Copies of this chain bind each other. A is one copy, B any other.
């Protein structure tokens, strides 16, 4: 049996942390209320996120939103919001999601001060940030006190198998989703039993209408907005991971499923008889979500160039630190000279154009007839992986931030440059969950 209480005591905030959080929250709230009072600003502070819901794990962040009346113009709200943010967080940094916000540290804890509009469930939101206070309210009034530990266990479980977080990098389950699942199924165990027996998509509530309305592997209709799938971020691989982990855990419960921090692996880079290349670009100074989105596009572009080029790509991996590293493994790094070029069907009018274009030319063979089409065997021009990528990459749009670096792309062949790279560690150590 698993000793859940020892897991909880490991990952819940200790008394000291909880007190520190309370203190910080009170300080900020007081400051904001006084500020608004003094400057006659129609706004109030509201703590949102897991801290507000009591479902925060150890060493979490604090999110304080400043809710403005909708009478404020957007730029006015943002200006005042930033002013408050900078006054609260002395060395705060400005960042930008849907609104600008200020992020910084207070007493060792990371704080985000985010301006938003006050809306009710019925009102049309102005931005998705405005909806966050509604999520907090929903969970506070629907999650029972004894379910808080269940949420924490679920979060730790998800984190442990690498599927916790809705940011693009993880594309997994957010804290809000863990809370909704717990409310819906009652406990950590029953959520796992649901996943272990689940076939196909998870749709909640599971009606024909919702199945038709939303695509994606996981659909959890947001209780505060019927038109939104709160689990839209989850990719199929992560749903699969949870299904397999749930089956494995229920079969043989183990503490392994509650280990959040693991040592970085140092696998041996064994010879797989394939051609592995790492394509690296400098990391642009933008948010993780933007970098990961563009890195995925970069990977897709590389993959499709290699696929169309005949290099037979089989697998890939991404790692982003100071550089954006995309690894692609191909069955070969050189394609054959032969290019069997398919011409028009014999029934089309313009077969003469094709025949004239190739007949008597310096081709490998043909033109000739096979099935209901004309063909000619040509010589491929670009035979090497590297030169094919370099020729084709310039004509693709990787996204604003990575495009600038296209000509700075570095291609590493790990069979020649024998150095440790995180993307290679990640690639070679791939297991079921960790």
Contacts and interface: CB of A to CB of B under 8 A. Distances in A.
A248 B380 CA distance: 29
A394 interface: no
A244 B374 contact: yes
Interface residues of A, number: 52
Interface in A383-434: 383, 428, 430-432
Interface in A228-244: 236-237, 239-241, 243-244
A251 to B, nearest CB: 7
Contact of A347 (B199, B237, B351, B371): B199
A248 B352 CA distance: 8
B244 A351 contact: yes
Interface string A344-363: 00110001100100010000
A338 B314 CA distance: 10
A120 B431 CA distance: 75
Contacts of A428: 365
A198 B372 CA distance: 12
A364 interface: yes
Interface in A76-115: none
A198 B347 contact: yes
A272 B338 contact: yes
Given A240-B371, A272-B377, A351-B247, A314 B340 contact: yes
A272 B432 contact: no
A161 B367 CA distance: 15
Contacts of A331: 335-336, 338
B336 A272 contact: yes
Contacts of A270: 364
A236 B371 CA distance: 6
A138 interface: no
A122 interface: no
Contact of A370 (B237, B347, B351, B383): B237
Contacts of A142: none
Contacts of A364: 270, 272
Nearest to A200: B347
Interface of A: 198-200, 236-237, 239-241, 243-244, 247-248, 251, 270-274, 314-315, 329, 331-332, 335-338, 340, 346-347, 351-352, 355, 359, 364-374, 377, 380, 383, 428, 430-432
